[in-house]
């Protein structure tokens, strides 16, 4: 778990940061100009970051799947924090490189109807929402299969557990990612595998699809359990050029442990420092939504040149102003790509893991983008 302490920052910086979010009404400066009453500024003492750098050198919006086949894929970037406060690190975090390799196959094995996998502890009943949508989307995946023209698998343990001291080994095996009845299953397992005690999957659209602005809707059921950490999130497509956090990160969905709480967070660079701002479903400026995250819910991200907002079943749980690059948020006016993963243990959920939960799964019915 990350260690935090209060930070007294210069009045000039606090005034700038307060102004940055005033449009969205998410930060309110106190009269002394040195503190923010509604959301405290904190410093992160952890030595690890949510994101290590990606090593592939090109980003294109919808390149062919063969263009990724020989690239090294790794992107150590899971959330540094998802509290409802703005956090600024006192110095730029170190962003080590990973050395995981891309599998050469262009297809992903999907269990046949005769193949039996152990029952998951996930509570949701895997059932697709409906037949193919009739609306034309800017981009969508209905997960009738794992489409390798859209998704690439991260492989391995990353650098320092994907920048977060995570314990899982990510694979591209059907034991960790498969489609059944129109539902994508990302499954975390307890097993000894290549030096790790747990396996899971991490899928990204980097190099195959990225976009700027739009409305994202996804129907997802999340796993819960001590030490589990599922996420649906985005990273700036220019991460190879500018590194993290300068590329920007948009965490649409995160949850940890046994909580039935969904967190939404933004991470970016502010004058050389790591800045973050987030909220959650248990307290969005006094409003809260009780929900069973192990059941399917419709999650939505709205993103334009003024605001980024996040919803679950139309309940808003996060909003941030990015108008006129307020607070140094220019990273959120550039293309971002998707990530889906289920981590086991780490700096945020902690290192106590209940092995009785495995196998445990995140279920994804669809992801759809409208412009």
| Distance between CA atoms of residues 233 and 213, nearest Å | 14
Calculate the dihedral angle through the C-alpha atoms of 137, 310, 287, 36, rounding to the nearest 10 degrees: -160
DSSP 149-191: TT-EE--B-TTTIIIII--EEE--STTTEEEETTEEEEEEEEE
Residue 253 parent element (H or E): strand 249-254
| Residue owning tokens 């299953």 | 185
| Distance between CA atoms of residues 78 and 172, nearest Å | 19
Question: Which residues are known to be catalytic?
Answer: 249, 254
| Distance between CA atoms of residues 305 and 212, nearest Å | 9
Q: Are 46 and 2 in contact (CB under 8 A)?
A: yes
DSSP 7-63: ----HHHHHHHHHHHHTTT---B-TTSS-BSSS--EEE--S--SBPBP------TT-
């Amino acid at each position: 778990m990350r260690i935090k302490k209060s930070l007294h920052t210069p009045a000039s910086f606090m005034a700038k940061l307060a102004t940055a979010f005033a449009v969205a009404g998410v930060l309110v400066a106190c009269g002394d100009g040195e503190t923010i009453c509604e959301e405290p500024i904190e410093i992160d003492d952890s030595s690890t970051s949510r994101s290590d750098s990606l090593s592939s050198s090109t980003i294109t919006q919808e390149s062919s799947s063969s263009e990724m086949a020989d690239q090294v894929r790794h992107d150590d970037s899971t959330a540094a924090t998802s509290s409802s406060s703005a956090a600024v690190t006192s110095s730029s975090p170190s962003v080590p490189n990973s050395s995981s390799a891309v599998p050469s196959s262009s297809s992903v094995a999907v269990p046949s109807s005769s193949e039996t996998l152990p029952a998951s502890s996930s509570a949701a009943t895997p059932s697709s929402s409906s037949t193919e949508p009739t609306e034309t989307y800017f981009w969508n995946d209905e997960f009738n299969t794992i489409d390798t023209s859209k998704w690439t698998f991260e492989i391995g343990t990353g650098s320092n557990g994907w920048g977060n001291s995570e314990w899982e080994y990510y694979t591209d095996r059907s034991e960790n990612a498969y489609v059944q009845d129109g539902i994508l299953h990302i499954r975390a397992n307890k097993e000894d595998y290549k030096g790790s005690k747990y396996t899971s999957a991490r899928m990204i659209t980097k190099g195959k699809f990225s976009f700027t602005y739009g409305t994202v809707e996804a129907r997802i059921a999340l796993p819960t359990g001590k030490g589990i950490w599922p996420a649906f999130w985005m990273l700036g497509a220019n991460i190879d050029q500018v590194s993290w956090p300068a590329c920007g990160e948009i965490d649409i969905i995160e949850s940890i442990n046994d909580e039935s709480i969904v967190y939404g967070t933004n991470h970016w660079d502010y004058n050389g420092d790591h800045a973050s701002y987030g909220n959650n479903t248990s307290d969005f400026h006094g409003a809260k939504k009780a929900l069973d995250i192990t059941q399917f819910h419709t999650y939505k991200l709205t993103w334009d040149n003024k605001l980024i907002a996040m919803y679950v079943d139309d309940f808003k749980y996060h909003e941030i102003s990015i108008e006129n690059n307020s607070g140094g948020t220019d990273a959120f006016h550039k293309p971002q790509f998707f990530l889906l993963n289920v981590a086991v243990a780490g700096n945020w959920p902690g290192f106590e893991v209940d092995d009785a939960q495995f196998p445990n799964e995140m279920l994804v019915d669809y992801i759809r983008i409208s412009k």
